[in-house]
């Protein structure tokens, strides 16, 4: 899920406004009581930004599927800006400069928020005051940004080594892998401390939606669902039917259902289970058995020539095969195609005939779909020399690191 939250929110009916009721009570009881005031729905966001002269700062509200423009302002020489508006309930908003810098705020009706920052790096430089929820959001995203910078630096060290000798590259691969994992673990621990320390904060909900690599949530390990349930319970108690809380609760419920399905699936084809036998025709029509590869580590990969996501991962798969095919490693690729010519042509055109291919050309009706509880493709299973599954859906750098550990 992207750093911005708008793609996961569903807009629900707003709660009944209480301002008019409060005003009526004040008028009716004016002769009896004093000090009664109408809650303000106004908010203001103002401050001063460095390096901002002549640049345009935009304010958006997080909508159900996109960001809704609220206001914009061209910065003067002093870098000062000011936005005002009215909201009837707490809202996620973001300040954005072009596509290179943004800052998520959590704005409560009545707040007067002030901030200072460098417009070129809002997330890492912002100092916010006047909004406890925004302060928490800014704190977390600053830490996340630091982690992303550290990971980029580690990756760059490895990329610069690619022209070196194989031994140097191999050593750097292992060193950077350890640094990468350590950095991710530090961010994971920080996130756990953050959400357990602030379970009723919308900033914790935001934190649980964040990604470091653009593919997976920070808290995505077995058992991490308890942190989502903790925040869900606290937000429901604090905010009731607030649209963000309701949507998050629905996502958590779906997550629990998916976890149950995974547990059932892993009982059949999860790590530690014996890989079910596959015997299907190869491109030449001869039947090839998965069990014929016993004694080797095998990546069992399910794909199809019509699957665009499958084709996107093929370059990294080719690189992994070229690096480890001299070891006891093989790829057994099962296609869910139904057009034999397209299947064969794709293998030849993309240079995939270096490893084993099989298919019964039965599309989604192939018995392997139910045999391996496939819910989509690409899907893969890493199998050890005894035919036991030791990993599922391992791809890219993770597959590379796993094989490096196996064959070191």
- Mean pLDDT, the chain, rounded, equals 87
Q: Are 105 and 135 in contact (CB under 8 A)?
A: no
8-state DSSP, 8:
G
Q: Are 259 and 226 in contact (CB under 8 A)?
A: no
376: pLDDT strictly greater than 50: yes
Half-sphere exposure of 221 (CA within 13 A, CB side): 9
In this structure, the strands spanning 80-86 and 91-97 are unpaired
35: pLDDT strictly greater than 50: no
Angle between helices 308-324 and 396-407 (to 10 degrees): 20
Residues 259, 260, 262, 266: is their CA dihedral positive or negative?
A: positive
3-state SS, residue 253: helix
pLDDT at 229: 96
- In whole angstroms, give the CA distance from residue 238 to residue 301: 46
pLDDT at 38: 44
Among residues of the chain, what percentage have pLDDT more than 90? 69
Q: 335 or 267, which is more confident? A: 335
19: pLDDT strictly greater than 80: no
Per residue in 159-212, pLDDT (tens digit) is 887 777 877 777 887 888 888 888 999 999 999 999 999 999 999 999 999 888
- In whole angstroms, give the CA distance from residue 280 to residue 278: 6
66: pLDDT strictly greater than 60: yes
Q: What is the DSSP string of 316-384?
A: HHHHHHHHHTTSSEEEEEEE--S-HHHHHHHHHHTT-TTSEEE--S-GGGSHHHHHTT--SSSEEEEE-
- In whole angstroms, give the CA distance from residue 356 to residue 222: 32
The values of phi and psi at residue 94, to 5°, are -140, 135
Q: Residue 64's pLDDT band (boundaries 50, 70, 90)?
A: low
- Token duo for residue 209: 């939606």
CA-to-CA dists, residue 8 to 93, 248, 289, angstroms: 14, 8, 43
pLDDT at 65: 66
Q: Are 101 and 123 in contact (CB under 8 A)?
A: yes
Q: Are 3 and 213 in contact (CB under 8 A)?
A: no
Least confident range from 14-28, 208-222, 236-250, 355-369: namely 14-28
Among residues of the chain, what percentage have pLDDT more than 70? 89
3: pLDDT strictly greater than 80: no
36: pLDDT strictly greater than 70: no
- Token duo for residue 381: 């299973």
- Among candidates 38, 14, 136, which has minimal Cα distance to 87? 14
Q: Residue 291's pLDDT band (boundaries 50, 70, 90)?
A: very high
Chain position carrying tokens 């292992």: 174
70: pLDDT strictly greater than 50: yes
pLDDT at 39: 59
Least confident range from 168-172, 218-222, 275-279: namely 168-172
333: pLDDT strictly greater than 80: yes
In this structure, the strands spanning 101-107 and 356-358 are unpaired
- In whole angstroms, give the CA distance from residue 131 to residue 45: 10
Q: Are 242 and 322 in contact (CB under 8 A)?
A: no
Annotate 335-363 with b (16+ C-beta within 10 A) or e (fewer): bbbbeeeebbebbeeeebeebbbbbbbee
Rounded to an integer, the average pLDDT of 150-167 is 82
Q: 9 or 358, which is more confident? A: 358
3-state SS, residue 314: helix
pLDDT at 17: 34
pLDDT at 37: 41
pLDDT at 165: 80
Rounded to an integer, the average pLDDT of 25-51 is 64
Residue 71 bridge partners (DSSP): 59
pLDDT at 157: 84
125: pLDDT strictly greater than 90: yes
Domains observed in the chain: 6-130 (2.60.40), 142-266 (no CATH), 279-407 (3.40.30.10)
Q: Residue 395's pLDDT band (boundaries 50, 70, 90)?
A: confident
- Token duo for residue 53: 């002269």
């Amino acid at each position: 899920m992207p750093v911005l939250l708008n793609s996961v929110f569903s807009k629900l009916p707003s709660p009944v406004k209480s301002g008019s009721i409060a005003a009526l009570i004040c008028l009716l009881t004016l002769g009896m009581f004093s000090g009664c005031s109408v809650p303000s729905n106004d908010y203001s966001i103002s401050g001063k930004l460095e390096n901002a002269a002549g640049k345009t700062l935009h304010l958006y509200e997080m909508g159900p599927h996109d960001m809704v423009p609220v206001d914009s302002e061209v910065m003067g020489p002093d870098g000062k800006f000011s936005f005002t508006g009215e909201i009837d309930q707490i809202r996620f908003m973001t300040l954005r400069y072009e596509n290179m810098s943004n800052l998520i705020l959590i704005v409560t009706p009545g707040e007067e928020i002030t901030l200072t920052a460098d417009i070129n790096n809002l997330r890492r430089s912002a100092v916010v005051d006047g909004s406890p929820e925004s302060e928490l959001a800014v704190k977390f995203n600053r830490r996340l940004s630091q982690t992303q910078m550290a990971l980029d630096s580690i990756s760059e060290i490895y990329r610069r080594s690619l022209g070196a000798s194989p031994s140097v590259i191999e050593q750097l691969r292992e060193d950077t892998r350890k640094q990468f994992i350590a950095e991710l673990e530090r961010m994971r621990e920080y996130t756990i401390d953050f959400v357990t320390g602030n379970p009723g904060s919308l900033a914790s909900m935001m934190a649980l939606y964040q990604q470091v690599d653009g593919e997976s949530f920070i808290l995505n390990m077995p058992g991490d669902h308890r942190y989502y349930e903790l925040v869900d319970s606290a937000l429901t108690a604090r905010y009731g039917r607030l649209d963000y809380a309701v949507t998050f609760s629905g996502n958590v419920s779906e997550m629990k259902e998916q976890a149950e399905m995974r547990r059932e699936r892993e009982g059949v084809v999860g790590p530690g289970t014996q890989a079910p036998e596959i015997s299907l025709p190869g491109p030449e029509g001869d039947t090839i058995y998965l069990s014929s590869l016993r004694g080797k580590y095998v990546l069992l990969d399910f794909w199809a020539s019509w699957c665009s996501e499958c084709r996107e991962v093929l370059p990294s798969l080719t690189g992994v095969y070229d690096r480890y095919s001299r070891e006891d490693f093989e790829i057994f690729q099962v296609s869910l195609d139904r057009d034999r010519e397209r299947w064969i042509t794709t293998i030849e055109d993309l240079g995939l005939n270096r490893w084993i291919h099989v298919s019964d050309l039965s599309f989604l009706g192939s018995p392997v779909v139910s045999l391996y509880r496939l819910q989509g493709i690409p899907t893969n299973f890493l199998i050890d020399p005894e035919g036991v599954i030791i990993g599922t859906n391992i791809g890219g750098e993770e597959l590379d690191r796993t094989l490096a550990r196996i064959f070191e």
